Structure 1
Amino acid sequence: MKNFTLITVSLLCSLCGISVSVSEFYTLEVQPGDAVTLLCSNYTSSPSQILWFRVVKLLNARCISHIFKAFDSASYCNGFENGRFEMTSNMSTVFLKIKQVDVSDSGLYFCGYYIRKNPLIVGATYLEVQVFNRLAKAMIMILGGLTVSLAVVTICLVVKIKQLKRARIEEENPQQTEGQGSDLNYAAVTFHPNSKRNLRPAPETEMVPNAIYSAIR
């Protein structure tokens, strides 16, 4: 992927009339509203004008900013004086900071200098602002919330249905119990055998006939 993009950069630069001597190539993926810092090596050993530029509409290299030597204040080209772009440099690296990026900032950024009024690329960065990833994350969060809500509603409905069934069964059981109680009437009689120790027969005067009555309906 990196080699393919590098070939695309070289082809694009040849169409734009830009000389290519790329020693560094980067790709950056950011979200809208983020701040990003592009960089390339400070390739000059003596004071020289270093600039950042960007390819616009595939055919024009547009200047963003330029600086003459390390630690100097940068100058900004037309259309980039809004404060979102900030170019700085030290003895080893040249930086370009972009604040609060948006979709329009996506594209190819180059660090280089001019030779006979033609830009020479030394470092290149492809910046991609991924606006659809943030929308996709938001949609995933919304769908996740809806799924959780649906699961909670389903569980509540199942519990409610079980409660209704239980209440209906409890209402029907007392009627069945009363119906069974009216159909069955039993008389329970318990007989206790005489103790073997009392073997002497009782006197005739003491013997009283016992009658056991059982009424069965």
Structure 2
Amino acid sequence: MFASGWISVSGSHSVTVQPGGDVTLLCPNVSNYDSMIFWFRLINDSQARCISVMINSKSKVEFCSEFHNEKFEMSSNITVLFLKIKQVDLSDSGLYFCGFYTSGRPIFSVNHLNVEGSDGITQLISMTLGSLTFFLVVVIISLVVHIRKLQTGTTELKYQSL
């Protein structure tokens, strides 16, 4: 746990997922405090954006401006705060912070979400394009060799007829 003045960071987790799937991020130790709990995300390494807030673990979830409940679900049980992100894509990669207030101090946990850059379809397309490129290079080289032979044969016939 890192503590400095009025802010505490209680842990860090890293999650790697494939694009298109769902992922659930966890925030432990919520049971010790029945106070305001929240999720926010670091955007472009410079802007923290609120995702969702609950006044306490039993209250209704409120979503912040650009985040909505079609993509995100926030829930809590007795011990853990959850953030489910549906159909993740590359733009969902980044740092997610969950936290709560206790005695006037925010306490955070950090989750690093890494959405892998290539799925099976992208790999298949890359392999197909690579194979096609190789095939076309072989065809071009064989045509160049064939044209050279034809030019050489034409030159030899020209000299023989003289």
Q: What is the TM-score when the length of structure 2 is the normalising length?
A: 0.65
Partner of 1:127: 113
Tell me how far apart the structure 1 counterparts of residues 9 and 33 of structure 2 sit (CA, whole Å): 20
Question: What does the per-residue CA deviation read over 1:174-215, in whole Å, with 9 as the maximum and x for residues that have no partner?
Answer: xxxxxxxxxxxxxxxxxxxxxxxxxxxxxxxxxxxxxxxxxx
SS at match of 1:104: helix
Deviation at 1:42, TM superposition (A): 3.7
The answer to whether the 8 Å contact 2:63/2:69 transfers is no
In the TM superposition, what are the counterparts of 1:145-164 in structure 2 within 5 Å?
none
- Confirm whether residue 90 of structure 1 aligns to residue 77 of structure 2: yes
Question: Which structure has the bigger radius of gyration?
Answer: 1
Q: Determine which of 31, 34, 40 is the counterpart of 2:21.
A: 34
Structure 1 runs of 4+ with >6 Å offset: none
Deviation at 1:57, TM superposition (A): 2.3
The answer to whether the 8 Å contact 1:42/1:91 transfers is no
Tell me how far apart the structure 2 counterparts of residues 135 and 112 of structure 1 sit (CA, whole Å): 37
Unpaired stretches in structure 1, ≥5 consecutive residues: 1-9, 151-217
Deviation at 1:138, TM superposition (A): 2.1
Deviation at 1:120, TM superposition (A): 3.2
The answer to whether the 8 Å contact 1:40/1:94 transfers is yes
In the TM superposition, what are the counterparts of 1:39-118 in structure 2 within 5 Å?
39-113=26-100
SS at match of 2:30: coil
The answer to whether the 8 Å contact 1:51/1:112 transfers is yes
The answer to whether the 8 Å contact 1:108/1:126 transfers is yes
The answer to whether the 8 Å contact 1:88/1:96 transfers is yes
Tell me the matched-pair count.
130
Using CA pairs below 8 Å that are at least 6 residues apart, which structure has the higher relative contact order?
A: 2
Tell me how far apart the structure 1 counterparts of residues 108 and 50 of structure 2 sit (CA, whole Å): 15
Tell me how far apart the structure 2 counterparts of residues 60 and 113 of structure 1 sit (CA, whole Å): 19
Amino acid in the other structure paired with 1:24: G
Unpaired stretches in structure 2, ≥5 consecutive residues: 136-162
Q: What is the TM-score when the length of structure 1 is the normalising length?
A: 0.50
Tell me how far apart the structure 2 counterparts of residues 44 and 121 of structure 1 sit (CA, whole Å): 13
